Amino acid sequence: MADAALLSPEDPVWKEALGRVRHDIYHAPEYVRLDAGLTGGTPVAFRYAEAGRVLLVPLLLRPVPDTDLQDATSPYGYPGPVGSDDAAFWSRAAGAMTEMLCTQGVVTVFARLHPLLPHFPTALQSAGTLVTHGETVSIDLTLSADEIWSQTHRSHRNQINKATRAGVEIVFDDWALLDAWVETYHATMRRVGATDFYFFGADYFAELRTALRDHAHLAVAVLDGRVLGGNLFFAYGGMMHTHLQSTADAPIHHADKLLYHAVRTWGREQGNTVYHLGGGVGGAADSLFRYKSQFAAGRQPFHTWRVIADARAFEKLAGTPTPESLTGRFPPYR
């Protein structure tokens, strides 16, 4: 018998469902609750179970301004649907999610899929629109250290060696360096013209460390007692992700390249299997993507999934759906 429900992070059924499928840190209730605290959304997970199979989708519910409606979006990162290995089951689960969210006054769903975890495109397309944005970069940590090094572009290798010769050291999980690292993070946000949202304060980082415990790590580049930058990254279930990377304004002696190299070396030694670097801005093949692509040969497509749960409400807010409104900025009424 099928069972569909919206779960709160406090509901033990959320973790029970995750215990039955391969998932990542982005699906954990602690992470979703933390992200909701940044945006003001309500953290939930849609769970669908049937004959021993389960599917779970973490979401943030947000009020649609000037209405009594809501829409749903993914937390930051890659928390797309995870579930049992059965395409027909995924299709039924996607349909059940649409029906349930509609009864809750939810107009649309926007979900970022996880590039490293399996999903069933045909099943997701049966309930919505799947958009391919480009590729992300990953490092296969099951390779030997020599093989990983050989996949690194020679310019990156040269600069990693220069940083090492200059005396740059990478320090792991010395949280006494957090405040100094946050200064480099804020410097990076100023250089790229980030909005106020991305200037996370000390409270956020303290809450992140408490919530994620030993799954959150900090690698800091230090030269002569000065912090040059750092990499705040996650390690969970054999998968690693850079969450935030930063460098100081002053000359950094290629510390950024050394940081990525040191983190992947640490990850391999700790028994992780893959280090996901992400892609370009919005999935584009831009300078950021090219920078990351020179660390490794791993490539995987990045998709988002857009669902209209309440077609009538959507038309009132944004008009009749068109290919442009479903594949561009979504939802278009935001």
Q: Can you give the pLDDT at residue 216? A: 97
Dump strand ranges (E) for 106-257: 106-112, 129-140, 169-172, 216-223, 226-236, 239-247
Q: Report, at the CATH architecture level, how domain 142-272 is classified.
A: 3-Layer(aba) Sandwich (3.40)
Q: Which amino acid is at 214?
A: D
77 dihedral zone (left: phi>0; alpha: psi -120 to 50; beta): left
Domain boundaries along the sequence of the chain: 3-134+302-327, 142-272
The per-residue DSSP string of 236-298 comes to ETTEEEEEEEEE-SS--TTHHHHHHHHHHHHHHHTT--EEEEEESGGG--SHHHHHHHTT--E
Q: What b/e readout covers 35-54, taking b as 16+ CB neighbours within 10 angstroms?
A: bbeeeebebbbbbbbbeebb
Q: Can you give the pLDDT at residue 223? A: 97
Q: Can you give the pLDDT at residue 99? A: 97
Instruction: Please give the Cα distance from 181 to 252 (Å, whole number).
Output: 13
What are the pLDDT digits (tens) for 45-70?
999 999 999 999 999 999 999 999 99
Residue ranges of the chain with per-residue pLDDT less than 70: none
Instruction: Please give the Cα distance from 29 to 17 (Å, whole number).
Output: 11
3-state secondary structure of 139: strand
Q: Which two tokens stand for residue 22?
A: 């391969």
**CATH entry 2.70.50 includes domain 3-134+302-327:** no
Are 135 and 285 a contacting pair, CB within 8 Å?
A: yes
Picking from 237, 167, 200, 193, the residue whose alpha carbon sits closest to that of residue 27 is 237
What are the pLDDT digits (tens) for 115-160?
999 999 999 999 999 999 999 999 999 999 999 999 999 999 999 9
**How much is the CA Rg of the chain, to the nearest whole Å?**
21
105 dihedral zone (left: phi>0; alpha: psi -120 to 50; beta): left
Q: Which amino acid is at 260?
A: Y
Domain 3-134+302-327 and domain 142-272, same fold? Reply is: yes
Q: Reply yes or no: is the peptide bond before residue 121 cis, omega within 30 of 0.
A: no
Helix, strand, coil % in the chain, rounded to nearest 5: 40, 30, 30
Q: Pseudo-torsion of CA 60, 61, 64, 67, nearest 10°?
A: -170
Helices (H), strands (E): how many in the chain?
12, 13
Q: Can you give the pLDDT at residue 283? A: 76
